[in-house]
Chains A and B, each alone.
Chain A
């Protein structure tokens, strides 16, 4: 078969035009066009991030000038210490890290055990129970927010980290789903063999499933980390004393504590607040993408 069948078509004056009439040529043309569009969109996506960095290194005077400058006259690195000491951001940072890691450990442990059970162990009612797990993803947080507050208020947990950490140790539907999808892809001969060798269910999980599912656990860990690092609603509701605030709440609070909005300092503090997630993203982006794909496409 001739390439694109273009040979029988009337010839045009230039060879270049003929090339673009052929199938391979048309494909090349599409690819060039697509690359151009993508390039423009990528720049558009990056502009706000660049603007954030640029603002964080200007003086307030320079921030409030028109037309704006991309490159500050002098790089105000001192904005960073100034922003971070205006409010006790070191304490917020520590609190956020503490909560995020306490949730992370619970998330990994509980959800991988639950997911293993759903993926491998046969029991009556398993499918119904799994449907129930999935259906809880449809329940909006707003429905649970008020009565959970009442519950934690009764338990005396308000203004402690407990309402933010302890529920996570009882599993999350999204992560159970993510890990179960992955576990189902592991050949069952492997854990059958371990079982025949006399391993119990827990040790099969620990010796076979955990080592083989490290990529999925990495995805789960990343989701857990970024979600809790950025979470605003729950810390806003439960934490009230200044020494217990998290970065997200502190940032929102910052905006109103200063007279005129100090955009340069706000952006500096924001850069610091998002930095852990950005670093994590660039070092482990394979697992970010994988996690999104597993939950989105293979659902």
Chain B
């Protein structure tokens, strides 16, 4: 029997066929592992021996018996709390400056985005060297320009997080490019109307620019939070052999999770840590959407 398909049925069939690689990958490499990980999180599992069900023990240990979990949470939280808003303010500031019809705009944009292209280990090594307390460039510049004796940065507990924040400021180019494009798409009539009404530059920025680009700020805010909660490479490279030192001051959550999974082979505990991180991300994202729904302006309703 020959199957006769209508045009729209053929189209639907082609659709399912074409997206099938993604669906298979989603099931095999994402949903499958996620469910497995949820299962592991209730087990003691070292990969070699089969997992042993231990109920909520992993979560209990995490919340009530593991000060390093709280330390990792504190380190990652402080970093995110500082790096994300500072990054947004800094890159938005640069984007607004670039949008003043300044000469050689594309050359400047090229320079600002450059650090984002070389992210990863090389950048971490470079900053490790820049922040060297004795011979590094940062402390040299602090002394020459301001006459300040710089701190020991990555070697001194309280300065570790600021070191990472400073380094993250170098890579604001990604959001800068996004903001610049958003600024350029704000209709000029709006500014003209505001000027005619006697609005100062600051009021124009506050009442026209910010509302018009607020969806983009929201986007970079959320992706920024998701990204910085997962900080790993910098933490691994910049703390001696991924130990998270000194005194766990650079024990980022991602690093602690990695140590549990691949140093101590505590796959169950690492899975529980991962699920807590996932829940934190979901919570923060939905909270952001909720809090911002009245402040973010979508042109044309959307």
CB proximity to B under 8 Å, residues A136-171: 136, 138-151, 153, 167, 169-171
Give the shortest distance, in Å, between A186 (CB) and chain B (any CB): 17
A251 to B270, CA, bound (A): 26
CB proximity to A under 8 Å, residues B250-302: 253-254, 257-258, 261-262, 267, 270-271, 273-275, 277-278, 281-282, 285
A34 to B201, CA, bound (A): 13
Scoring A residues 60 to 77 as 1 if CB is less than 8 Å from chain B, else 0, what string do you get? 000111111000000000
A168 to B170, CA, bound (A): 29
Q: Quick check: B119 and A230 within 8 Å, CB to CB? A: yes
CB proximity to B under 8 Å, residues A19-74: 23, 30-31, 34-35, 37-38, 41-42, 45-49, 51-52, 55, 63-68
Q: Quick check: A248 and B117 within 8 Å, CB to CB? A: no
Q: Quick check: B112 and A45 within 8 Å, CB to CB? A: yes
Q: How many chain A residues touch B (Cβ–Cβ < 8 Å)?
A: 92
Q: Is there a chain A Cβ closer than 8 Å to B156's Cβ?
A: no
B29 proximity list for chain A (CB < 8 A): 144, 148, 151, 167, 170
Q: Is there a chain A Cβ closer than 8 Å to B130's Cβ?
A: yes
Give the shortest distance, in Å, between B138 (CB) and chain A (any CB): 9
CB proximity to A under 8 Å, residues B148-189: 170, 174-175, 177-178, 181-182, 185
Q: Quick check: A113 and B18 within 8 Å, CB to CB? A: yes
Q: Quick check: A281 and B18 within 8 Å, CB to CB? A: no
Q: Quick check: A146 and B274 within 8 Å, CB to CB? A: yes
Give the shortest distance, in Å, between B14 (CB) and chain A (any CB): 4
Known contacts A274-B122, A281-B114; A147 and B25 CB within 8 A of each other = no
Q: How many chain B residues touch A (Cβ–Cβ < 8 Å)?
A: 94
| Chain B, Cβ-Cβ closest to A122 | B11
Known contacts A126-B15, A232-B236; A48 and B262 CB within 8 A of each other = no
CB proximity to A under 8 Å, residues B223-239: 226, 229-230, 232-233, 236-237
Q: Quick check: B19 and A118 within 8 Å, CB to CB? A: yes
Residue of A63, A117, A129, A249 with highest tally of chain B CB at under 10 A: A117
Q: Is there a chain B Cβ closer than 8 Å to A212's Cβ?
A: no
Q: Is there a chain B Cβ closer than 8 Å to A198's Cβ?
A: no
A273 to B258, CA, bound (A): 25
Which of A122, A231, A247 is within 8 Å of B8, CB to CB?
A122
Q: Quick check: B100 and A34 within 8 Å, CB to CB? A: yes
Known contacts A121-B12, A123-B16, A140-B229; A292 and B177 CB within 8 A of each other = yes
Residue of A38, A113, A282, A289 with highest tally of chain B CB at under 10 A: A38
B31-39, B52-60, B63-71, B78-86 - the one binding chain A = B31-39
Give the shortest distance, in Å, between B218 (CB) and chain A (any CB): 10
Q: Quick check: A122 and B236 within 8 Å, CB to CB? A: no
A213 to B138, CA, bound (A): 44
Q: Quick check: B236 and A252 within 8 Å, CB to CB? A: yes
Which of A41, A123, A274 is within 8 Å of B12, CB to CB?
A123
Q: Is there a chain B Cβ closer than 8 Å to A124's Cβ?
A: yes
| Chain A, Cβ-Cβ closest to B176 | A292
| Chain A, Cβ-Cβ closest to B262 | A237
A267 to B237, CA, bound (A): 14
Q: Is there a chain A Cβ closer than 8 Å to B142's Cβ?
A: no
A167 proximity list for chain B (CB < 8 A): 25, 29
A153 to B46, CA, bound (A): 12
A248 to B123, CA, bound (A): 11
B216 proximity list for chain A (CB < 8 A): 296-297
Q: Is there a chain A Cβ closer than 8 Å to B97's Cβ?
A: yes
Q: Is there a chain A Cβ closer than 8 Å to B103's Cβ?
A: yes
Q: Quick check: A136 and B21 within 8 Å, CB to CB? A: no
Residue of B25, B32, B47 with highest tally of chain A CB at under 10 A: B25
Q: Quick check: A132 and B16 within 8 Å, CB to CB? A: no
CB proximity to A under 8 Å, residues B90-128: 94, 97-98, 100-103, 108-115, 117-122, 125-127
CB proximity to B under 8 Å, residues A225-276: 226, 230-233, 236-237, 247-249, 251-252, 255-256, 263, 266-267, 270, 273-274
A248 proximity list for chain B (CB < 8 A): 120-122, 233
Known: A146-B271, A230-B122, A296-B219. 5 other contacts (CB 8 A): A42-B112, A48-B115, A139-B34, A297-B181, A297-B185
User: Could you pull out 17 A-B pairs where Cβ atoms are within 8 angstroms?
Assistant: A38-B108, A63-B135, A114-B22, A123-B15, A126-B15, A140-B226, A140-B277, A145-B274, A150-B267, A151-B32, A167-B25, A248-B121, A267-B126, A270-B122, A278-B117, A288-B113, A297-B178
